Structure 1
Amino acid sequence: MNHTDRVKDEDHLEKTGCQHDDSEVSSNNNNIQCKTVCPAAGEHPLQYNYTFWYSRRTPSRPASSQSYEQNIRQIGTVASVEQFWKLYSHLVRPGDLSGHSDFHLFKEGIKPMWEDESNRSGGKWIIRLRKGLANRFWENIILAMVGEQFMVGEEICGAVVSIRFQEDILSIWNRTSSDQITTSRIRDTLRRVLNLPANTIMEYKTHNDSLRDNSSFRNTKISL
Protein backbone atom coordinates (compact mmCIF):
# COMPACT_ATOMS: atom_id res chain seq x y z
CA MET A 1 0.00 0.00 0.00
CA ASN A 2 1.50 3.35 -0.99
CA HIS A 3 1.59 6.53 1.00
CA THR A 4 -1.46 8.04 -0.70
CA ASP A 5 -3.61 5.20 0.63
CA ARG A 6 -2.87 6.10 4.23
CA VAL A 7 -4.91 8.40 6.39
CA LYS A 8 -3.48 11.88 5.90
CA ASP A 9 -6.02 14.18 7.46
CA GLU A 10 -5.75 14.95 11.16
CA ASP A 11 -9.48 15.67 11.31
CA HIS A 12 -10.04 12.09 10.17
CA LEU A 13 -7.83 10.84 12.98
CA GLU A 14 -9.83 12.84 15.50
CA LYS A 15 -13.20 11.69 14.14
CA THR A 16 -12.34 8.02 13.69
CA GLY A 17 -14.05 5.91 16.30
CA CYS A 18 -13.99 2.14 16.55
CA GLN A 19 -13.99 -0.59 13.98
CA HIS A 20 -17.22 -0.67 12.03
CA ASP A 21 -18.12 -4.34 12.35
CA ASP A 22 -17.29 -5.10 15.96
CA SER A 23 -17.94 -1.93 17.89
CA GLU A 24 -20.56 0.35 19.28
CA VAL A 25 -19.62 3.98 19.85
CA SER A 26 -21.07 6.11 22.62
CA SER A 27 -19.81 9.68 22.99
CA ASN A 28 -19.75 11.31 26.41
CA ASN A 29 -17.42 14.22 27.17
CA ASN A 30 -15.22 13.16 24.25
CA ASN A 31 -14.68 9.68 25.70
CA ILE A 32 -15.21 6.88 23.20
CA GLN A 33 -16.07 3.43 24.49
CA CYS A 34 -16.05 0.26 22.41
CA LYS A 35 -17.25 -3.25 22.71
CA THR A 36 -14.45 -5.77 22.95
CA VAL A 37 -13.12 -6.58 19.48
CA CYS A 38 -12.68 -10.26 18.59
CA PRO A 39 -10.60 -11.94 15.88
CA ALA A 40 -12.56 -12.96 12.82
CA ALA A 41 -12.64 -16.58 11.73
CA GLY A 42 -9.26 -17.68 10.44
CA GLU A 43 -7.37 -14.68 11.87
CA HIS A 44 -4.36 -14.98 14.16
CA PRO A 45 -5.30 -13.62 17.61
CA LEU A 46 -3.00 -11.35 19.60
CA GLN A 47 -2.42 -12.26 23.24
CA TYR A 48 -3.99 -8.92 24.22
CA ASN A 49 -6.26 -6.51 22.38
CA TYR A 50 -4.62 -3.14 21.67
CA THR A 51 -6.06 0.31 21.05
CA PHE A 52 -4.47 3.04 18.93
CA TRP A 53 -4.88 6.63 20.19
CA TYR A 54 -3.91 10.05 18.83
CA SER A 55 -3.44 13.36 20.61
CA ARG A 56 -2.32 16.85 19.72
CA ARG A 57 -2.02 20.02 21.80
CA THR A 58 -0.61 23.51 21.75
CA PRO A 59 2.93 23.35 23.21
CA SER A 60 2.58 26.62 25.14
CA ARG A 61 -0.38 25.27 27.10
CA PRO A 62 0.54 22.58 29.64
CA ALA A 63 -2.27 20.04 29.77
CA SER A 64 -4.21 19.28 32.90
CA SER A 65 -5.47 15.71 33.19
CA GLN A 66 -8.97 16.88 32.28
CA SER A 67 -7.95 18.82 29.16
CA TYR A 68 -5.60 16.01 28.10
CA GLU A 69 -8.37 13.43 28.35
CA GLN A 70 -10.66 15.64 26.28
CA ASN A 71 -7.97 16.07 23.64
CA ILE A 72 -7.05 12.42 23.15
CA ARG A 73 -8.88 10.38 20.50
CA GLN A 74 -9.32 6.66 20.00
CA ILE A 75 -8.53 5.50 16.49
CA GLY A 76 -9.45 1.82 16.80
CA THR A 77 -8.90 -1.47 18.61
CA VAL A 78 -7.33 -4.61 17.16
CA ALA A 79 -7.51 -8.22 18.32
CA SER A 80 -5.56 -10.09 15.63
CA VAL A 81 -2.46 -9.79 13.48
CA GLU A 82 -4.64 -9.13 10.45
CA GLN A 83 -6.63 -6.39 12.18
CA PHE A 84 -3.41 -4.75 13.37
CA TRP A 85 -1.94 -4.50 9.86
CA LYS A 86 -5.24 -3.38 8.33
CA LEU A 87 -5.48 -0.44 10.73
CA TYR A 88 -1.77 0.36 10.96
CA SER A 89 -1.32 0.48 7.18
CA HIS A 90 -3.96 3.23 6.93
CA LEU A 91 -2.32 5.52 9.50
CA VAL A 92 0.10 8.28 8.70
CA ARG A 93 3.63 7.57 9.84
CA PRO A 94 4.76 9.48 12.93
CA GLY A 95 7.41 11.38 10.97
CA ASP A 96 4.70 12.81 8.73
CA LEU A 97 2.83 14.38 11.65
CA SER A 98 3.41 18.04 12.41
CA GLY A 99 3.65 20.04 15.58
CA HIS A 100 3.08 18.63 19.04
CA SER A 101 1.49 15.24 18.20
CA ASP A 102 1.47 11.78 19.76
CA PHE A 103 0.54 8.27 18.71
CA HIS A 104 -0.23 5.79 21.49
CA LEU A 105 -0.75 2.03 21.37
CA PHE A 106 -2.07 0.61 24.67
CA LYS A 107 -3.69 -2.57 25.81
CA GLU A 108 -7.45 -2.35 25.49
CA GLY A 109 -9.00 -0.88 28.63
CA ILE A 110 -5.92 1.16 29.60
CA LYS A 111 -6.00 4.87 28.80
CA PRO A 112 -2.64 6.44 27.91
CA MET A 113 -2.77 8.62 31.01
CA TRP A 114 -0.62 8.65 34.14
CA GLU A 115 -3.78 8.62 36.27
CA ASP A 116 -5.21 5.40 34.80
CA GLU A 117 -5.35 2.71 37.46
CA SER A 118 -3.14 0.36 35.43
CA ASN A 119 -0.49 3.07 35.03
CA ARG A 120 -0.66 4.79 38.42
CA SER A 121 2.10 2.77 40.10
CA GLY A 122 4.20 2.47 36.97
CA GLY A 123 6.63 4.39 34.88
CA LYS A 124 8.19 4.54 31.43
CA TRP A 125 11.46 4.09 29.61
CA ILE A 126 12.22 7.16 27.48
CA ILE A 127 14.40 7.31 24.37
CA ARG A 128 15.02 10.65 22.67
CA LEU A 129 15.48 10.42 18.91
CA ARG A 130 16.93 12.79 16.39
CA LYS A 131 14.49 13.75 13.65
CA GLY A 132 14.02 11.19 10.91
CA LEU A 133 14.15 8.04 13.04
CA ALA A 134 10.64 7.95 14.50
CA ASN A 135 8.96 5.87 11.78
CA ARG A 136 11.29 2.89 11.97
CA PHE A 137 11.69 2.93 15.75
CA TRP A 138 7.94 3.25 16.37
CA GLU A 139 7.16 0.31 14.10
CA ASN A 140 9.84 -1.83 15.72
CA ILE A 141 8.70 -1.12 19.27
CA ILE A 142 5.01 -1.76 18.67
CA LEU A 143 5.71 -4.97 16.73
CA ALA A 144 7.84 -6.16 19.66
CA MET A 145 5.04 -5.22 22.06
CA VAL A 146 2.13 -6.92 20.28
CA GLY A 147 4.42 -9.87 19.51
CA GLU A 148 5.10 -10.32 23.26
CA GLN A 149 8.88 -10.04 22.89
CA PHE A 150 9.35 -8.31 26.26
CA MET A 151 8.50 -11.48 28.21
CA VAL A 152 7.38 -9.64 31.36
CA GLY A 153 3.85 -11.00 31.72
CA GLU A 154 1.21 -8.29 32.05
CA GLU A 155 3.70 -5.56 32.98
CA ILE A 156 3.65 -3.74 29.61
CA CYS A 157 0.83 -1.18 29.36
CA GLY A 158 1.61 0.52 26.06
CA ALA A 159 3.95 2.61 23.95
CA VAL A 160 4.01 6.25 22.84
CA VAL A 161 5.77 8.15 20.09
CA SER A 162 5.82 11.92 20.62
CA ILE A 163 6.60 14.21 17.70
CA ARG A 164 8.24 17.46 18.76
CA PHE A 165 9.91 20.33 16.92
CA GLN A 166 13.56 19.57 17.74
CA GLU A 167 13.40 15.84 18.49
CA ASP A 168 11.04 12.89 18.76
CA ILE A 169 10.50 10.83 21.90
CA LEU A 170 9.75 7.13 22.18
CA SER A 171 8.54 5.57 25.42
CA ILE A 172 7.17 2.30 26.71
CA TRP A 173 5.01 2.19 29.84
CA ASN A 174 4.87 -0.54 32.48
CA ARG A 175 2.70 -1.15 35.54
CA THR A 176 5.20 -1.42 38.41
CA SER A 177 8.00 1.11 38.66
CA SER A 178 9.35 -0.45 41.87
CA ASP A 179 10.06 -3.80 40.17
CA GLN A 180 13.67 -3.22 39.14
CA ILE A 181 14.15 -6.69 37.65
CA THR A 182 11.22 -6.14 35.29
CA THR A 183 12.18 -2.58 34.35
CA SER A 184 15.73 -3.76 33.60
CA ARG A 185 14.41 -6.57 31.40
CA ILE A 186 12.26 -4.07 29.49
CA ARG A 187 15.31 -1.82 29.02
CA ASP A 188 17.43 -4.69 27.73
CA THR A 189 14.70 -5.83 25.32
CA LEU A 190 14.34 -2.28 24.03
CA ARG A 191 18.06 -2.14 23.30
CA ARG A 192 17.83 -5.41 21.41
CA VAL A 193 14.67 -4.86 19.33
CA LEU A 194 15.66 -1.29 18.45
CA ASN A 195 19.32 -2.24 17.88
CA LEU A 196 20.43 0.68 20.01
CA PRO A 197 24.14 1.53 20.31
CA ALA A 198 25.62 0.73 23.70
CA ASN A 199 26.05 4.42 24.52
CA THR A 200 22.39 5.32 23.88
CA ILE A 201 20.99 7.28 26.82
CA MET A 202 17.77 5.79 28.22
CA GLU A 203 15.84 7.41 31.06
CA TYR A 204 13.34 5.71 33.35
CA LYS A 205 10.74 8.01 34.90
CA THR A 206 7.93 7.06 37.24
CA HIS A 207 4.47 8.42 36.47
CA ASN A 208 4.36 9.94 39.97
CA ASP A 209 7.40 12.02 39.04
CA SER A 210 5.74 13.03 35.75
CA LEU A 211 2.59 14.09 37.60
CA ARG A 212 4.62 16.09 40.11
CA ASP A 213 6.67 17.81 37.39
CA ASN A 214 3.55 18.66 35.40
CA SER A 215 1.81 20.06 38.47
CA SER A 216 4.84 22.18 39.39
CA PHE A 217 5.01 23.58 35.85
CA ARG A 218 1.33 24.54 35.84
CA ASN A 219 1.65 26.27 39.23
CA THR A 220 4.72 28.30 38.29
CA LYS A 221 4.00 32.03 38.10
CA ILE A 222 6.02 34.14 35.69
CA SER A 223 6.77 37.70 36.75
CA LEU A 224 7.32 40.31 34.05
Structure 2
Amino acid sequence: MTNLLTESTTITIVNKVLDDIKENIGDYHQINEQVEKLNVNSEQIHLNINDGEQSKSLNIQNLLDKNILLSNTDDHKENTSSLSTIDSNELLTSHILMNKQIELIHPLENQWSFWYLKNQQGKDWQDNLMKLATFSYVEEFWALFNHLRVASRLPPSCDYMLFKTPILPCWEDSHNSNGGRWVLYFSKSEQVYLNLDVCWLASMLALIGGQYAQDTNYVNGVVLSARKSCDRIALWTSIHHDQQLIFRIGRRMRELINIPRQIHILFELHNQEISTTTNITYKKKSTAGNKVLYQL
Protein backbone atom coordinates (compact mmCIF):
# COMPACT_ATOMS: atom_id res chain seq x y z
CA MET A 1 0.00 0.00 0.00
CA THR A 2 1.49 3.37 -1.02
CA ASN A 3 0.61 6.80 0.39
CA LEU A 4 1.68 10.09 -1.15
CA LEU A 5 2.44 13.15 0.96
CA THR A 6 0.62 16.27 -0.18
CA GLU A 7 2.55 19.46 -0.84
CA SER A 8 0.96 21.21 2.13
CA THR A 9 1.89 18.37 4.46
CA THR A 10 5.47 18.47 3.20
CA ILE A 11 5.72 22.23 3.80
CA THR A 12 4.31 21.86 7.31
CA ILE A 13 6.84 19.18 8.22
CA VAL A 14 9.73 21.16 6.71
CA ASN A 15 8.72 24.23 8.68
CA LYS A 16 8.61 22.19 11.89
CA VAL A 17 12.07 20.82 11.24
CA LEU A 18 13.40 24.31 10.57
CA ASP A 19 11.94 25.54 13.86
CA ASP A 20 13.80 22.75 15.65
CA ILE A 21 16.98 23.69 13.84
CA LYS A 22 16.57 27.30 14.87
CA GLU A 23 16.39 26.31 18.52
CA ASN A 24 19.49 24.12 18.41
CA ILE A 25 21.66 25.67 15.73
CA GLY A 26 22.52 29.34 15.66
CA ASP A 27 23.13 29.63 11.95
CA TYR A 28 19.49 29.20 10.98
CA HIS A 29 19.49 31.42 7.90
CA GLN A 30 22.30 29.54 6.22
CA ILE A 31 20.55 26.18 6.63
CA ASN A 32 17.24 27.67 5.53
CA GLU A 33 18.84 28.73 2.24
CA GLN A 34 20.17 25.21 1.72
CA VAL A 35 16.76 23.69 2.40
CA GLU A 36 15.13 25.94 -0.15
CA LYS A 37 17.70 24.83 -2.73
CA LEU A 38 16.91 21.20 -2.05
CA ASN A 39 14.10 20.31 -4.40
CA VAL A 40 11.82 18.04 -2.40
CA ASN A 41 9.31 16.62 -4.83
CA SER A 42 6.42 15.39 -2.73
CA GLU A 43 5.17 13.05 -5.44
CA GLN A 44 8.45 11.17 -5.43
CA ILE A 45 8.28 10.33 -1.74
CA HIS A 46 6.48 7.11 -0.91
CA LEU A 47 5.69 5.47 2.36
CA ASN A 48 6.29 1.73 2.15
CA ILE A 49 3.89 -0.02 4.51
CA ASN A 50 3.99 -3.81 4.60
CA ASP A 51 0.78 -5.01 6.30
CA GLY A 52 1.23 -7.76 8.88
CA GLU A 53 4.99 -7.27 9.28
CA GLN A 54 6.99 -5.07 11.63
CA SER A 55 8.68 -3.05 8.89
CA LYS A 56 10.04 0.47 9.15
CA SER A 57 8.34 3.03 6.92
CA LEU A 58 10.24 5.95 5.40
CA ASN A 59 8.69 9.35 6.08
CA ILE A 60 9.70 12.87 5.17
CA GLN A 61 10.63 13.86 8.71
CA ASN A 62 13.07 10.96 9.05
CA LEU A 63 14.56 11.90 5.71
CA LEU A 64 15.03 15.52 6.73
CA ASP A 65 16.33 14.59 10.16
CA LYS A 66 19.03 12.43 8.61
CA ASN A 67 20.05 14.82 5.83
CA ILE A 68 19.31 18.36 6.99
CA LEU A 69 19.43 18.46 10.78
CA LEU A 70 23.19 18.63 11.40
CA SER A 71 25.04 18.48 14.68
CA ASN A 72 27.29 21.25 16.00
CA THR A 73 30.57 19.79 14.82
CA ASP A 74 33.64 21.23 13.10
CA ASP A 75 32.48 19.97 9.73
CA HIS A 76 29.01 21.53 10.11
CA LYS A 77 29.57 24.25 7.52
CA GLU A 78 31.11 21.84 5.06
CA ASN A 79 28.15 19.44 5.29
CA THR A 80 25.51 22.12 4.95
CA SER A 81 27.19 23.68 1.94
CA SER A 82 27.25 20.33 0.16
CA LEU A 83 23.50 19.77 0.47
CA SER A 84 22.75 21.91 -2.55
CA THR A 85 24.85 19.65 -4.78
CA ILE A 86 22.98 16.45 -3.87
CA ASP A 87 20.42 15.40 -6.39
CA SER A 88 17.10 14.93 -4.60
CA ASN A 89 16.19 11.79 -6.52
CA GLU A 90 19.48 10.09 -5.65
CA LEU A 91 19.07 11.15 -2.04
CA LEU A 92 15.62 9.65 -1.76
CA THR A 93 16.57 6.45 -3.56
CA SER A 94 19.61 5.79 -1.38
CA HIS A 95 17.70 6.20 1.85
CA ILE A 96 14.77 4.14 0.69
CA LEU A 97 17.23 1.31 0.09
CA MET A 98 18.84 1.86 3.49
CA ASN A 99 15.48 1.72 5.26
CA LYS A 100 14.07 -1.18 3.29
CA GLN A 101 13.49 -4.21 5.49
CA ILE A 102 15.62 -7.22 4.61
CA GLU A 103 13.47 -10.33 4.62
CA LEU A 104 15.28 -13.25 6.23
CA ILE A 105 14.46 -16.71 4.91
CA HIS A 106 15.26 -19.97 6.65
CA PRO A 107 15.59 -22.98 4.31
CA LEU A 108 14.50 -26.42 5.47
CA GLU A 109 16.57 -29.53 4.91
CA ASN A 110 13.80 -31.11 2.84
CA GLN A 111 10.92 -29.94 0.70
CA TRP A 112 7.50 -30.73 2.15
CA SER A 113 3.99 -31.15 0.77
CA PHE A 114 0.82 -30.51 2.75
CA TRP A 115 -2.26 -32.53 1.83
CA TYR A 116 -5.93 -32.42 2.77
CA LEU A 117 -8.27 -35.40 2.59
CA LYS A 118 -12.01 -34.82 2.66
CA ASN A 119 -13.79 -38.13 2.88
CA GLN A 120 -16.76 -37.67 0.59
CA GLN A 121 -18.85 -40.74 0.01
CA GLY A 122 -19.21 -41.82 -3.59
CA LYS A 123 -15.76 -40.56 -4.58
CA ASP A 124 -12.50 -42.46 -4.90
CA TRP A 125 -9.74 -41.84 -2.39
CA GLN A 126 -7.61 -40.09 -5.00
CA ASP A 127 -10.45 -37.72 -5.84
CA ASN A 128 -10.84 -36.73 -2.19
CA LEU A 129 -7.12 -36.01 -1.77
CA MET A 130 -5.87 -32.48 -2.43
CA LYS A 131 -2.36 -31.06 -2.25
CA LEU A 132 -2.66 -27.65 -0.63
CA ALA A 133 0.95 -26.48 -0.80
CA THR A 134 4.60 -27.40 -1.20
CA PHE A 135 7.20 -25.46 0.77
CA SER A 136 10.94 -25.36 1.42
CA TYR A 137 11.27 -22.52 3.93
CA VAL A 138 10.18 -21.94 7.52
CA GLU A 139 8.37 -18.75 6.52
CA GLU A 140 6.35 -20.64 3.91
CA PHE A 141 5.27 -23.16 6.51
CA TRP A 142 3.97 -20.46 8.86
CA ALA A 143 2.21 -18.69 6.00
CA LEU A 144 0.37 -21.95 5.29
CA PHE A 145 -0.29 -22.87 8.91
CA ASN A 146 -1.76 -19.47 9.77
CA HIS A 147 -4.41 -19.91 7.08
CA LEU A 148 -5.46 -23.44 8.03
CA ARG A 149 -8.31 -24.45 10.27
CA VAL A 150 -6.94 -25.63 13.61
CA ALA A 151 -6.76 -29.35 14.20
CA SER A 152 -9.54 -29.45 16.79
CA ARG A 153 -11.97 -27.90 14.29
CA LEU A 154 -11.22 -30.25 11.44
CA PRO A 155 -14.49 -31.94 10.34
CA PRO A 156 -14.86 -35.66 11.09
CA SER A 157 -13.52 -38.10 8.48
CA CYS A 158 -11.02 -35.49 7.26
CA ASP A 159 -7.22 -35.66 7.39
CA TYR A 160 -4.28 -33.27 7.36
CA MET A 161 -1.11 -34.82 5.94
CA LEU A 162 2.44 -33.47 5.88
CA PHE A 163 5.00 -35.52 3.90
CA LYS A 164 8.41 -35.14 2.36
CA THR A 165 8.23 -34.32 -1.31
CA PRO A 166 7.64 -36.40 -3.47
CA ILE A 167 6.27 -39.08 -1.10
CA LEU A 168 2.52 -39.60 -1.41
CA PRO A 169 0.47 -39.81 1.81
CA CYS A 170 -0.60 -43.41 1.25
CA TRP A 171 0.88 -46.70 2.38
CA GLU A 172 1.01 -47.98 -1.21
CA ASP A 173 3.78 -45.49 -2.00
CA SER A 174 7.12 -47.32 -2.25
CA HIS A 175 8.58 -45.13 0.51
CA ASN A 176 5.83 -46.24 2.93
CA SER A 177 4.85 -49.76 1.89
CA ASN A 178 7.39 -51.53 4.13
CA GLY A 179 6.96 -49.18 7.07
CA GLY A 180 4.52 -48.36 9.78
CA ARG A 181 3.32 -45.55 12.02
CA TRP A 182 3.54 -44.50 15.63
CA VAL A 183 -0.01 -43.47 16.56
CA LEU A 184 -1.19 -41.23 19.38
CA TYR A 185 -4.91 -41.67 20.02
CA PHE A 186 -7.03 -38.91 21.50
CA SER A 187 -9.82 -40.76 23.25
CA LYS A 188 -11.98 -38.94 25.79
CA SER A 189 -9.84 -40.13 28.67
CA GLU A 190 -6.62 -39.10 26.95
CA GLN A 191 -7.90 -35.63 26.04
CA VAL A 192 -7.70 -34.74 29.72
CA TYR A 193 -3.90 -34.84 29.41
CA LEU A 194 -3.43 -33.87 25.76
CA ASN A 195 -4.28 -30.86 23.62
CA LEU A 196 -4.83 -31.86 20.00
CA ASP A 197 -3.87 -28.47 18.54
CA VAL A 198 -0.62 -28.28 20.53
CA CYS A 199 0.36 -31.86 19.73
CA TRP A 200 -0.34 -31.45 16.02
CA LEU A 201 1.76 -28.29 15.73
CA ALA A 202 4.59 -29.88 17.74
CA SER A 203 4.48 -32.94 15.47
CA MET A 204 4.85 -30.85 12.32
CA LEU A 205 7.61 -28.63 13.70
CA ALA A 206 9.60 -31.64 14.89
CA LEU A 207 9.24 -33.23 11.48
CA ILE A 208 10.24 -30.32 9.23
CA GLY A 209 12.93 -29.27 11.72
CA GLY A 210 14.73 -32.61 11.48
CA GLN A 211 14.35 -33.26 15.20
CA TYR A 212 14.64 -37.04 14.84
CA ALA A 213 18.42 -36.73 14.54
CA GLN A 214 20.10 -39.75 12.90
CA ASP A 215 16.67 -41.33 12.23
CA THR A 216 15.26 -38.38 10.29
CA ASN A 217 15.71 -40.17 6.96
CA TYR A 218 13.42 -42.96 8.17
CA VAL A 219 10.55 -40.59 9.05
CA ASN A 220 8.38 -39.77 6.03
CA GLY A 221 5.46 -37.76 7.31
CA VAL A 222 2.78 -37.12 9.89
CA VAL A 223 -1.00 -37.43 9.61
CA LEU A 224 -3.81 -35.90 11.64
CA SER A 225 -7.05 -37.87 11.38
CA ALA A 226 -10.26 -36.33 12.70
CA ARG A 227 -12.80 -38.97 13.66
CA LYS A 228 -16.06 -38.93 15.58
CA SER A 229 -14.95 -41.67 17.95
CA CYS A 230 -11.27 -40.80 18.41
CA ASP A 231 -8.88 -38.35 16.75
CA ARG A 232 -5.31 -39.48 16.16
CA ILE A 233 -1.86 -38.27 15.11
CA ALA A 234 0.35 -40.78 13.28
CA LEU A 235 4.07 -40.48 12.54
CA TRP A 236 4.90 -42.53 9.44
CA THR A 237 8.17 -44.44 9.05
CA SER A 238 9.73 -46.10 6.02
CA ILE A 239 10.65 -49.37 7.80
CA HIS A 240 9.24 -51.62 10.50
CA HIS A 241 11.71 -54.48 10.97
CA ASP A 242 14.45 -52.61 12.89
CA GLN A 243 12.97 -52.71 16.38
CA GLN A 244 15.75 -50.66 17.98
CA LEU A 245 15.35 -47.87 15.42
CA ILE A 246 11.55 -47.90 15.63
CA PHE A 247 11.59 -47.63 19.41
CA ARG A 248 14.13 -44.83 19.23
CA ILE A 249 11.80 -42.89 16.91
CA GLY A 250 8.85 -43.58 19.19
CA ARG A 251 10.67 -42.38 22.30
CA ARG A 252 11.76 -39.24 20.45
CA MET A 253 8.17 -38.61 19.33
CA ARG A 254 6.99 -38.92 22.91
CA GLU A 255 9.64 -36.44 24.03
CA LEU A 256 9.00 -33.89 21.27
CA ILE A 257 5.22 -33.86 21.68
CA ASN A 258 5.54 -34.07 25.47
CA ILE A 259 3.25 -37.08 25.85
CA PRO A 260 2.55 -37.98 29.51
CA ARG A 261 3.79 -41.36 30.72
CA GLN A 262 0.28 -42.67 31.35
CA ILE A 263 -0.54 -42.25 27.64
CA HIS A 264 0.62 -45.04 25.32
CA ILE A 265 1.62 -44.67 21.68
CA LEU A 266 1.19 -47.68 19.41
CA PHE A 267 3.15 -48.82 16.37
CA GLU A 268 1.04 -50.26 13.57
CA LEU A 269 2.05 -51.65 10.19
CA HIS A 270 0.84 -49.83 7.09
CA ASN A 271 0.36 -53.10 5.25
CA GLN A 272 -1.39 -55.57 7.52
CA GLU A 273 -0.69 -58.34 4.98
CA ILE A 274 3.00 -58.31 5.95
CA SER A 275 2.09 -60.40 8.99
CA THR A 276 1.11 -63.30 6.74
CA THR A 277 4.59 -63.51 5.19
CA THR A 278 6.68 -62.79 8.31
CA ASN A 279 6.71 -64.10 11.85
CA ILE A 280 5.17 -61.10 13.58
CA THR A 281 3.50 -61.34 16.95
CA TYR A 282 1.01 -58.55 17.55
CA LYS A 283 0.51 -57.25 21.06
CA LYS A 284 -3.12 -56.16 20.73
CA LYS A 285 -5.52 -54.15 18.59
CA SER A 286 -5.56 -50.39 18.55
CA THR A 287 -8.51 -48.10 19.14
CA ALA A 288 -9.06 -48.01 15.37
CA GLY A 289 -9.00 -51.81 15.16
CA ASN A 290 -5.51 -52.05 13.66
CA LYS A 291 -3.03 -54.62 14.91
CA VAL A 292 -0.32 -53.22 17.19
CA LEU A 293 3.27 -54.35 16.64
CA TYR A 294 4.97 -52.27 19.37
CA GLN A 295 3.83 -50.16 22.28
CA LEU A 296 5.47 -47.38 24.27
TM-score with structure 1 setting the length: 0.70
Aligned-partner Cα distance in 1 for 2:143–2:205: 14
Contact 1:114/1:211 (8 A) holds in 2: no
Contact 2:120/2:128 (8 A) holds in 1: no
Aligned-partner Cα distance in 2 for 1:79–1:53: 15
Show CA shifts across 1:59-78 (max 9, x none). 8x8x9xxx212211000011
For 2:152, the equivalent position in structure 1 comes to 95
- Which one of 179, 182, 194 corresponds to residue 242 of structure 2? 179
For 2:140, the equivalent position in structure 1 comes to 83
For 1:14, the equivalent position in structure 2 comes to none
Q: How has the CA–CA distance of structure 1 residues 168 and 211 changed in structure 2, closer, same or farther, with 3 Å as cutoff?
A: farther
Contact 2:152/2:196 (8 A) holds in 1: yes
Matched, 1:52 2:114: yes
Structure 1 segments of 4 or more deviating over 2 A?
130-133
Show CA shifts across 1:84-140 (max 9, x none). 111111111111122211000000100100100110111000110136622111001
Q: Which has the higher contact order (CA 8 A, sep 6+)?
A: 1
1:190 offset after TM fit, Å?
1.2
Structure 2: gaps (5+ residues): 1-102, 276-288, 290-296
For 1:157, the equivalent position in structure 2 comes to 220
Q: Larger Rg: 1 or 2?
A: 2
1:153 offset after TM fit, Å?
3.4
Contact 1:122/1:207 (8 A) holds in 2: yes
Aligned length, in residue pairs: 169
Contact 1:53/1:73 (8 A) holds in 2: yes
For 2:172, the equivalent position in structure 1 comes to 115
Secondary structure of 2:263's aligned partner: coil
Contact 2:202/2:257 (8 A) holds in 1: yes
Secondary structure of 1:208's aligned partner: coil
Higher helix share: 2
Q: How has the CA–CA distance of structure 1 residues 210 and 165 changed in structure 2, closer, same or farther, with 3 Å as cutoff?
A: farther
Whichever residue aligns with residue 111 of structure 2, its letter is N
Aligned-partner Cα distance in 1 for 2:227–2:108: 31
Alignment of 1:1-224 (within 5 A): 42-58=104-120, 67-130=124-187, 133-151=195-213, 152-209=215-272
Whichever residue aligns with residue 160 of structure 2, its letter is F
Q: How has the CA–CA distance of structure 1 residues 198 and 113 changed in structure 2, closer, same or farther, with 3 Å as cutoff?
A: same
Contact 1:53/1:72 (8 A) holds in 2: yes
Contact 1:119/1:174 (8 A) holds in 2: yes
Aligned-partner Cα distance in 2 for 1:210–1:113: 15
Whichever residue aligns with residue 223 of structure 2, its letter is V
Contact 1:134/1:161 (8 A) holds in 2: no
Secondary structure of 2:267's aligned partner: strand
